[in-house]
A and B are shown apart, each in its own frame.
Chain A
């Protein structure tokens, strides 16, 4: 098997495995209200060190990585930022490690069509 195709297939283990890996359940909803339950990798971190300056910056970084093939299987497109007030944003809902649930909207998305994943930066959202 081609090495890139093999790497994409392995995402089921390296990215989505929630039993032995870092896969984490989430619900992704597009602006039309279509949603899918899938396994992603997520982070939600506050107060980081700026790698450029070494200074601690106050902020909150939330991001997820999603396998594109799984999105396709759920009949969802590639998430993107929706700036218009008249449209609903793409949202991602997942719990933290302590069980508290939260919703976020997608503010930027960077698809990687070589590996077959899309990395999304998120912002806190009140649905």
Chain B
């Protein structure tokens, strides 16, 4: 016999937090581009493409579109029993990987050249710098989800070369930000059922004695 009487059709907060990270990045990148334009800078230098849970998002690159790519994906969650209760709320610590991909096309430069691999690494680090500053800004201490998110913190940044085998016809480099977020997860709750109707009347007599009258509707 099943006991959970409600359809579990909610999204867990780990999914909401992941989407929120992507939304913050996409939103703030647009804002940064606008600010760059006001500062007479090239807005394209602040542009990013933000994806969620992609396997090989760097396939987005082409020789005509070298905009850096950011991919947010969940890696792991752990639950802290000491700060949770067994009925409703579980304190969760989740690691989200925020991968920043930079693309470089080698180019002639006067009497020399600009190597594509060096350019790709610089682009990846520039993207990671922008992402870290957005996510760790004071404005997003709780990722705009205060009440659910306890804290967020960038635990580290690692550089790596995406899996391309020796297919280095184009150069792609990446940085991975390990973003730890602590938040609450909630689980389905017991729905109480009505057992009895009880009618209680409180009265006070002339000598200030409190008199309670109760009616119980029951079937013997």
A residues lining the B interface (CB < 8 Å): 44, 46-48, 50, 52, 55, 57-62, 82-89, 104-105, 107, 121-127
Contact = CB atoms under 8 A, between A and B. Distances in A.
Contacts of B27: none
A124 B113 contact: no
Contacts of B166: 61, 121
Contact of B109 (A47, A50, A58, A85): A85
Contacts, number: 82
B48 interface: no
B165 A62 contact: no
B106 interface: yes
A126 B109 CA distance: 10
A59 B170 contact: yes
B6 interface: no
B59 A82 contact: no
A71 to B, nearest CB: 21
B164 A126 contact: no
A124 B107 CA distance: 9
Given A83-B115, A89-B106, A123-B116, A58 B58 contact: yes
B112 A86 contact: yes
Given A105-B106, A124-B106, A126-B106, A59 B112 contact: no
Contact of A60 (B107, B108, B170): B170
